[in-house]
Amino acid sequence: MYRLRDELKAQGHTLRDFVSGNINDHGFVFPQDLLEDILVRASRSCRIYHPDSFGQRPAREAVSDYYGECCQGIDPDSILITPGTSLSYWYCFKLLADEGDEILCPCPSYPLFDYIALLSGVKLIPYRLAEDRNWAVDLDQLEACVSTKTRAMILISPHNPTGHVASPEEIAGLADIARRHGLAVISDEVFSEFLLDGESLPRPAKSAAPLVFTLNGFSKMFALPGIKFGWMAVSGDRDKVARALSSLELISDTFLPVNEIVQAAAPEIMLRGRDSRLEFARRVRSCWECAAGLLAPCAHFSYAKPQGGFYVTLRLNGLDEERAAEMALRQHHLLVHPGYFYDMDSDHLVMSFVQRPEIMRESLPELIGTLAALAADDGPASAAERATQKRN
């Protein structure tokens, strides 16, 4: 797939990327004049270097205020500033697990976690999201995955790439499992601003889980992936939180990895960027409405309506995912992912709907046409043969 992509780019073709999570590529950009003003003011305020292992307190207070607005207050002293969610995951893995220990991770899922786990010496154990229930967490199967080596479980809500938002009942079930087995919950909420139904996000931090690490940052929230500002908010039982924060302080103090100017800028980005954050969320909902209208008439796939995030997962009806993705790329220079990239069963395509409307109006009919042509080429007999091969 990516070899073909590189070949087409080398030939001078312009590709339409329907998988990138970098929303800057799709016209979502924080106001440049405002950002420059904030960064200049921030640079003046931190000319003398006085690092804080947890991150500068004004930055932590800004994050705390954000949670005070959207859900419940989290004390600034329970927040650790990081240079993005990927490193937050690495901190969690190193904090919670020794080499060979296990962390439960949703399946399907974004493949980034595999590499972080490998670097951490941790083994990821997949737990199932049930597609026939709109990708809900299968709590019984999740608990069956718990072993004596399990140390934590990851919840991604809104989920990438299915768009599922965990319900209060799912979160209560996860919290119950976590408490009975003494597990931490790593709650990835990087898509939390982008709820497609406009309702509030249920959060593990408000549950009875004994220890919760809530991860988020500016990359998606403010369309500022290059700023590299993220955080971990630690909540739960007081003693467990205190021990976790003590260890996190040591880990963070070892590297002191967060740019001081970025930390100084964070409170103003939170405050003065609020309108941009809300506008980004509105635009994402508008993108989904456009995509849903274009996808509606196709008989060659079905999908569970995403509740949040940037992605939709299409379940193909009797078509081979890799052939479909390759045909779309070769014939229309349209990049989508086959489902096996995310360890999905059966045949799926994964695509981002966070695109400029004019690109979607051109591209999605072409994708649908590709699937129709593939179905015509395969015919009923070929589809039946493929189904038999899968069962065997």
Examine the domain organization and report whether 264 and 194 are in the same domain. Answer: yes
Q: Which tokens belong to 137?
A: 């967490």
Domain final residue, candidates 244, 272, 300: 272
Burial label, 317 (beta-carbon count in 10 A; 0-12, 13-18, 19+): middle
Examine the domain organization and report whether 6 and 36 are in the same domain. Answer: no
How many residues are present in the chain? 392
Q: Which of 345, 337, 350 is nearest to 303 (CA)?
A: 350
Examine the domain organization and report whether 238 and 357 are in the same domain. Answer: no
Question: Other C-beta atoms within 10 Å of 197: how many?
Answer: 10
Mean pLDDT (whole number) for 241-261: 97
Q: What is the pLDDT of residue 212?
A: 98
Q: What is residue 186's three-state secondary structure?
A: strand
Examine the domain organization and report whether 24 and 40 are in the same domain. Answer: no
What is the pairing mode between strands 311-316 and 348-352?
antiparallel
pLDDT tens digits for 238-247?
999 999 999 9
CA pair distance 141, 161, nearest whole angstrom: 20
Examine the domain organization and report whether 19 and 154 are in the same domain. Answer: no
Q: Specify the higher pLDDT residue, 270 or 6.
A: 270
User: Which residue type sits at 121?
Assistant: G
Question: What is the total count of domains within the chain?
Answer: 2
Q: What is the pLDDT of residue 298?
A: 86
Least confidently predicted of 162-171, 321-330, 374-383: 374-383
Q: Is the pLDDT of residue 175 over 90?
A: yes
What is the residue whose two structure tokens read 């509606």?
296
The pTM of the full predicted model, rounded to 2 decimals, is 0.94
pLDDT tens digits for 88-146?
999 999 999 999 999 999 999 988 889 999 999 999 999 999 999 999 999 999 999 99
Phi-psi region of 29 (alpha: psi -120 to 50; beta: other; left: phi over 0): beta
Question: Other C-beta atoms within 10 Å of 242: how many?
Answer: 12
Q: Which tokens belong to 77?
A: 């002293």
Strand partners, 348: 315
Q: Which of 256, 251, 208, 248 is nearest to 232 (CA)?
A: 248
Domain final residue, candidates 272, 300, 315: 272
The answer to whether the peptide bond before residue 297 is cis (omega within 30 degrees of 0) is no
pLDDT tens digits for 318-362?
999 999 999 999 999 999 999 999 999 889 999 999 999 999 999
Q: What is residue 355's three-state secondary structure?
A: coil
CB 349 within 8 A of CB 321: yes
CA distances from 114 to 28, 84, 90, 220 (A): 28, 17, 11, 21
The parent domain of residue 101 ranges over 32-272
What is the residue whose two structure tokens read 């026939």?
132
Mean pLDDT (whole number) for 7-36: 93
Check which CATH number belongs to the domain holding 142 and give it: 3.40.640.10
Residues near 265 by beta carbon (within 8 Å), at least 6 away in sequence: 38, 39, 41, 42, 227
Examine the domain organization and report whether 322 and 263 are in the same domain. Answer: no
Domain final residue, candidates 250, 272, 294: 272
CA pair distance 99, 137, nearest whole angstrom: 27
